[in-house]
Structure 1
Amino acid sequence: MSKPPSRPNLTLQFCFNQTALRDFLRASRGLIDDSIVQNLNALMTPSRKPWDPASTAERQIRPVERRPTDPQACQSFKDDILFRSWQTRSDILNYCARVALDPSDPDLALKEVESAMERERVVNERLDPYSGRFFPRETRTEILASVIRNERSVEGIIRSRTWALVNERCGDAGVGWEDALNKWRTDQEAHR
C-alpha cells in the first residue's frame, strides 16, 4: 500500500516556488488518491473459497458477489493514510494562502509605481489604437493566491471522487468527505 510523501518544510520559498508546490501536491495525490482503487484492493482479504474450474464454463457479465472489505482495515486506511494525506495537503495550502496575503510584498510597490506611470502617460489612440492598452504585472502574492485557488478546486474534485470510491468499497456511511475529515480532525485533537 502507498505511503504519502513526507511533509515538506513550510517556508516562503516553498510556497513561491510553484514547481515545488505543485510537484508535492501532484505526488501526494498520485500516491494516494489517483491510485485509490489499488490501495483499496490491497485491503481486501484473499478469497476463502477455493477456485472452481467449473466457474469458467459460463460467461459472467459482472461479478456475482463482491468480496467485502474488512471494516477495520478500511477504517485504518482512512485514519492512517487517507485523512493524514488530505490534512497535510490542507495544511500546506492554508499556509501558502496566508503567505499570499502578505501586505509587504516587494512587487506591490513596483506595481503601484507602474500604475501611476501609466495614469500619467499621454495616449493618442488615433495614431496607435493599441497604445491605450495597459496590462499591470501580477505580484507574486497574486500569482500564489491564484495557484492556491486552483489547487483547492482540484483538491475538492479529487477528494469527492476518492471518497465515493472509498464509500463504495468500505460501505456507505452516509457521510460526506468534508464531515468525515472534520470528525477525524476532532478525534486527532482529542487524542493529543
Structure 2
Amino acid sequence: MSRAFDHPPLTPQFCFNETALRDFLRLSRSTIDDSITSNLNSLLTPSTSAWDPKSSSSRPRTTPPASKRPMPPNTCSHFKSAILFPSWQSRSDVLTYCAAVATSPDPSDPDQLLRDIEDEKARQRIVDERLDPYSGRYFPREVRTESLAALVRRERMVEDIIRRRTWGLVGERCNSNDGVGWEQAVEEWGNRNST
C-alpha cells in the first residue's frame, strides 16, 4: 500500500521552479489518488509474505470481487487518517505557501531588469499606426509571481476535482462518508490531530 507523500522544504525557490512544484503534485497524486482503487483493494486483501501456487489453481466462486466487498470501518478510518488526509494536507500546505509567495513582492526576480529595458524601449518607440496598424502592440513579459499565481489557481482546481473523485470512491468502498464532503472530513481530521 502507498504511504503519504511528504512535501519538500518550502522555499520561494521551490515555488518559482514550476517544474519541481508540478512534479511534487503529480507524484503525490499518482501515489494516492490516481491509484485509489488499488490502494483500497490492498487494504481488503493484504499481500502475504510468500506466494502460494495453490492459491491460483482455482478461483472461489462465492467471494465477490474486491471492488464490491465492503471494507471494515476501522481499516477505512485508518487509511483516511494515516494516508489519505496527510497526503491531501501536504499538497494543501504547498499550494497555500506558494499562493502566499505569489502574492508577495519579488525583489529577486531575475527578469525584472530585462522587463524594465523592454518597457523603456516600448515607451520610446515612435508608432505610426497608419503605416503599420500592428506596430502599436506591446505585450510585456509576465512577472513570475503572476505566472506562479496562475499555476496555483489551476492546480487548486485540479486538486478539487481529484479529491471529489477520490472521496466518492472511498465513500463507495467504505460506506462511511454519510453525506460529508471531503472538505469537512479533512477539517474534522485536522481538528482532531491539532489537539
* Interval containing the TM-score (normalised by the shorter chain): 0.7 to 0.9
Q: Using CA pairs below 8 Å that are at least 6 residues apart, which structure has the higher relative contact order?
A: 2
Note the C-alpha offset of 1:44: 1.2
Distance in 2 (CA, whole Å) between partners of 1:182 and 1:112 is: 45
Moved more, 176-185 or 123-132: 123-132
Distance in 1 (CA, whole Å) between partners of 2:137 and 2:116 is: 17
The answer to whether 1:139 aligns with 2:156 is no
CA RMSD of aligned residues (A): 2.6
Aligned residues: 180
What is the TM-score when the length of structure 2 is the normalising length? Answer: 0.82
Distance in 1 (CA, whole Å) between partners of 2:60 and 2:5 is: 45
Structure 2 unaligned residues grouped into runs of 5+: 47-57
Note the C-alpha offset of 1:22: 0.4
What is the TM-score when the length of structure 1 is the normalising length? Answer: 0.83
The answer to whether 1:27 aligns with 2:31 is no
The corresponding residue for 2:193 is: 188
Note the C-alpha offset of 1:133: 1.1
The answer to whether 1:38 aligns with 2:42 is no
The corresponding residue for 1:85 is: 87
> Do the aligned partners of residues 148 and 76 (structure 1) sit closer, same or farther apart at CA in structure 2, a change above 3 Å counting?
same
The corresponding residue for 1:8 is: 8
Structure 1 unaligned residues grouped into runs of 5+: 47-51, 57-61
Note the C-alpha offset of 1:109: 7.0
Distance in 2 (CA, whole Å) between partners of 1:156 and 1:131 is: 43
Identity across aligned pairs (percent)? 57
Distance in 2 (CA, whole Å) between partners of 1:177 and 1:85 is: 13
What do the CA deviations read for 1:126-182 (whole angstroms, capped 9, x no partner)?
212221111111011111111111111110000000000000000142100001011
Aligned 1:38-187 pairs, distance under 5 A: 38-45=38-45, 55=61, 66-105=68-107, 106=109, 107=111, 111=115, 114-115=118-119, 117-171=121-175, 172-187=177-192
